[in-house]
Amino acid sequence: MRTIRTLLVSASLAIALLATTGCERHAKNESFYLISNNLKLPYWQNANAGFNRAAAQYGVTPHLRGPDGFDAQAELAEFQKAVASKPAGILISVADAALMTPDINSAVAAGIPVITIDSDAPNSHRLYFIGTNNLDAGKLGAERAVRRLNNKGNVVFFSNPGQPNLDDRLKGYIDVFQNHPQIKIVDVVNIKGDSGTAFDKSQQFLGKTGAEKIDAFICLEASAGKDVAEVLKRNHATDRLLIATDVDPETLNLIKGGVIDSTVAQKPYTMGYVGLKALDEIHHYLPAQFRTDYSVDSFSPFPVFVDTGTALVDKNNVEMFLQAAAEAQGK
């Protein structure tokens, strides 16, 4: 009996030790950073919600950093500050790949895991990219535009040229439109992170008539759609097509009301949630010294790209997205 009691006590101690060890894997002094531009957008609030949820599950400390508007230099400065704090890992949505690449390379060389989300820096040494297949997202929107325009019309885009994810979306549209020669791209407006520019330019474009009439307005980023929609509403321009990006509640309600035709939905919450968990895994289980050839290594511990998915939202399924948004906000 004594032997049995001894074994039971030993087993209990072993289980307790395993439980304690499991809890000690994570600690509040492990800091993870999410860095981006345009932090006031609902899109980044959703990404941060996913990031924070994963951090709470692991008991680690999350930090959200970056400018409220579009400012690549300010984003670089925040990245440099984060690197100087020697964090457990960094997620970053890259506004300017050429600007950010040297600092990403330096961080990875110093043993700090860096994963890009939403907007990539593919020529950097970042470990991999988590986000939307932006080329396919552009093609998804383009196919909708072709159907709604009946294969012909003048189109303008609103974007931040030079931002990798938006450039890829534009390329997706162009690839599809090339097969429809009666669809003409009139302009790609650089809003420079200010949706008010989209508002002003839309008013100008609405004044064009005849062969110069603009038939479709396409917004490649999250903020411009609502401003263009306001212009169309004020001018009762019900004969124009407006396609947006992302699913903040205002955009969804404008689809429900028929002002915005559709939007291409991404999954920023998933990007933040999966991203922090990936960084944590790397921090705890992989060597501090990273290589630079993971993208071409058949035995790499990392993927090149994790696609979080897209969907087209229109009047047929907008209620489902509105309900999901309400549930996420606890309403």
Reported as a single tens digit per residue, the pLDDT across 64-95 is: 999 999 899 999 999 999 999 999 999 999 99
The pLDDT confidence band at residue 158, using thresholds 50, 70 and 90, is very high
- Token look-up 């047929």 returns 316
Instruction: Summarize the confidence of residues 236-246 as an average pLDDT.
Output: 97
Instruction: Summarize the confidence of residues 9-20 as an average pLDDT.
Output: 40
The pLDDT confidence band at residue 330, using thresholds 50, 70 and 90, is low
Instruction: Summarize the confidence of residues 232-257 as an average pLDDT.
Output: 95
Gap between the Cα atoms of 36 and 102, Å rounded: 17
Look at residue 176 in the predicted model and tell me its pLDDT.
Answer: 98
Gap between the Cα atoms of 132 and 104, Å rounded: 20
The pLDDT confidence band at residue 215, using thresholds 50, 70 and 90, is very high
Question: What pTM did the predictor assign?
Answer: 0.83
Instruction: Summarize the confidence of residues 273-287 as an average pLDDT.
Output: 93
Look at residue 60 in the predicted model and tell me its pLDDT.
Answer: 97
Instruction: Summarize the confidence of residues 233-256 as an average pLDDT.
Output: 95
Look at residue 24 in the predicted model and tell me its pLDDT.
Answer: 56
The pLDDT confidence band at residue 5, using thresholds 50, 70 and 90, is very low
For residue 104, pLDDT over 60 is answered with yes
Look at residue 12 in the predicted model and tell me its pLDDT.
Answer: 42
Query: What's the angle, vertex CA 52, arms to CA 47 and CA 53, rounded to 5?
Result: 100
Average pLDDT taken over every residue of the chain? 90
Gap between the Cα atoms of 61 and 80, Å rounded: 18
Q: For the chain, what percent of residues have pLDDT higher than 90?
A: 79
Instruction: Please check whether residue 223 is in contact with residue 166, taking contact to mean a CB–CB distance below 8 angstroms.
Output: no
The pLDDT confidence band at residue 25, using thresholds 50, 70 and 90, is low
More confident residue, 165 or 14: 165
The pLDDT confidence band at residue 13, using thresholds 50, 70 and 90, is very low
Look at residue 31 in the predicted model and tell me its pLDDT.
Answer: 97
Q: What's the one-letter identity of residue 204?
A: Q
Q: Which two tokens stand for residue 323?
A: 């309900």
In residues, how long is the chain?
A: 331
Look at residue 327 in the predicted model and tell me its pLDDT.
Answer: 75
Contacts of 319 (CB under 8 A, 6+ apart): 256
- Which sign, positive or negative, has the C-alpha torsion 251, 257, 260, 265? positive
Lowest mean pLDDT among 17-21, 189-193, 260-264: 17-21
| DSSP calls for 128-190 | -EEE--HHHHHHHHHHHHHHHHTT-EEEEEEE-TT-HHHHHHHHHHHHHHTT-TTEEEEEEEE
Look at residue 8 in the predicted model and tell me its pLDDT.
Answer: 39
Instruction: Please check whether residue 169 is in contact with residue 138, taking contact to mean a CB–CB distance below 8 angstroms.
Output: yes
Instruction: Please check whether residue 266 is in contact with residue 273, taking contact to mean a CB–CB distance below 8 angstroms.
Output: no
Instruction: Summarize the confidence of residues 216-239 as an average pLDDT.
Output: 96
Look at residue 78 in the predicted model and tell me its pLDDT.
Answer: 98
Contacts of 194 (CB under 8 A, 6+ apart): 69, 70
